[in-house]
Amino acid sequence: MDARKLGEILSDMYNRAPHGRQVTMIHLFGIKYADVILTNHLSIKEIVGFSGINHSYATEVNKGINLSEFVIPKE
């Protein structure tokens, strides 16, 4: 999976999030895709850029990646 595809997924998760839960969904994205991002040495800034959301949310994706060491998302 490349940065463009991950950007599309992030955009979809953000735009489909319930009202007031957009940042939560960004964190969830980081948790769910941490392995893909880290294993492939993908740029978080590039992924966020492809998503079309505000570039400052790269920090929130990074928080999700950090959380991925400690949590497992519910299905």
* Domain limits for position 33: 3-67
Q: pLDDT tens-digit profile of 21-34?
A: 999 999 999 999 99
6, 20, 44 from 65: Cα distances, Å: 14, 21, 10
Tally of domains within the chain: 1
Q: pLDDT tens-digit profile of 32-58?
A: 999 999 999 999 999 999 999 999 999
Q: What is the largest CA-CA distance in the chain?
A: 32
pLDDT the model gives residue 74? 84
Note whether residue 7 is domain-resident: yes
Does the structure show a pLDDT above 90 at 6?
yes
Note whether residue 74 is domain-resident: no
Q: What is the C-alpha to C-alpha distance for residues 1 and 75, in angstroms, rounded to an integer?
A: 21
Q: What is the C-alpha to C-alpha distance for residues 36 and 26, in angstroms, rounded to an integer?
A: 15
Note whether residue 72 is domain-resident: no
Note whether residue 73 is domain-resident: no
What predicted TM-score, i.e. pTM, was given to this entire model?
0.94
